[in-house]
Amino acid sequence: MIELTVNGIKRQVDVVPEMPLLWVLRDELGITSPKYGCGVAQCGACTVHIDGKAVRSCQSRIGEVAGKSVVTIEGLENRDQNPVLQAWIDHQVPQCGYCQTGQIMQAISLLERASKPTDELIDQVMSGNLCRCGTYPRIRAAIHAAAAMKMAEK
């Protein structure tokens, strides 16, 4: 049994330690917001937070996540007031929406490091997150809007 904390709740799973966190979340724990897109850290659809950092859950072996705290979009604190989620809604970023939970988890992490990111920094940090529908212009706009909302809150 491997023990970890997911969205604030202690969970135990009986899988091989090599299994990527993504497949533990999706198939063992039924948490479906992290998406399978590529399996090789090329698309970012599986991005979650481990101990507060954005990581690709398809590359995180569950054996190495043991004892750590995993947060998916379902488990964000004050989700309804989260400025990134709110900006994503205001700007109607999603088309098919499949990559967006990963985009959002990456963007939250970006805004924790840089309160007012430039387009260049956004491009740099967000380029690991692929969107086949081409929502990039709205992702940029939503990140700027979320940054402004966070500033206004302070």
Partner 1 sequence: MEDIKNISRRAFVFGSAAIAGGIAFGSYGDAAMAATATNGNPLAAELGPNSVTFNPWVEISPDKITLIAQHADIGQGVGSAQPILIAEEMDLDPGQFEVRFAGPSPAYFNTGFANENAPFLSADHSPAAEAARADALEALRKSGLQMTGGSSSIPDTYEKLRIAGAVARETLKAAAAKRSGVALADISTQSGHVILPNGTKIPYVELAAEAARIAPVLDAKPRDPSKWRMVGKPMMRLDVRSKVMGELKFGIDKKMAGMMYAAVKLNPNKGQPLKSYEAGKAQSMPGVKKILKLKNGVAVIATNSWYAMKAVDAIQCVWAPSTYPAEQAGHWKVLEGSFKPQFLGKEWRKVGDIEAGLKQGTLFKAEYRAPYVGHQPLEPLNGLAIVSDSGMEIWVGHQSPQAVQSIAAAAIGLKPEQVTFHNQWTGGSFGHRLEFENIRVLAEIANQMRGTPIKLVFSREQDFLQDIPRQIAIARHRGSVDKGKIVAADLQLASTAPLKGLLERMGAPSKDPDPQLAAGLWNVYYDLPHFRATSYEAQGLSPSTTWRSVGASTAGFFTESFIDELIHAAGLDPLKARIAMCSVPTYRKVLETVAEMSNWNGPLGNGKGRGVAFVESFGTPTAEVIEITMTDRGVRIDKVWVAVDVGKVVDPVNLESQVQGGVVWGLGHAMNCQLTYAKGAVQQTNYNHHEAMRIYQCPVIEVRALENDPKVRGIGEPPVPPAAPALANAIFAATGKRIREMPFNKFIDFV
Count the site residues for partner 1 by CB under 8 A.
Answer: 56
Q: Does 134 bind partner 1 (CB under 8 A)?
A: yes
Cβ closer to partner 1: 78 or 154? 78
Question: Cα angle vertex 46, ends 104, 102, to 5°?
Answer: 10
Q: Does 129 bind partner 1 (CB under 8 A)?
A: yes
What's the farthest any 2 CA atoms get from each other in the chain? 46
Q: How far is CA 38 from CA 16, 70, 99, 105, 107, in A?
A: 21, 21, 11, 17, 20
Q: Does 101 bind partner 1 (CB under 8 A)?
A: yes
Cβ closer to partner 1: 95 or 154? 95
Q: How far is CA 66 from CA 13, 36, 39, 51, 57, in A?
A: 10, 21, 20, 11, 13
Q: How far is CA 84 from CA 48, 67, 68, 95, 108, in A?
A: 15, 28, 24, 17, 6
| C-alpha span between 52 and 136 (Å, rounded) | 24
Q: Does 46 bind partner 1 (CB under 8 A)?
A: no
Query: Which residues, numbered 14-33, are part of the site for partner 1 (CB under 8 A)?
Result: 15-16, 19-20, 22-23, 26-28, 30, 32-33
Q: Does 81 bind partner 1 (CB under 8 A)?
A: no
Cβ closer to partner 1: 30 or 153? 30
Least separation in angstroms between CB 31 and partner 1: 9
Interaction site with partner 1 (CB under 8 A): 15-16, 19-20, 22-23, 26-28, 30, 32-33, 35-40, 42-43, 45, 72-74, 79, 85, 88-89, 92-101, 104, 122-124, 126-127, 129-140
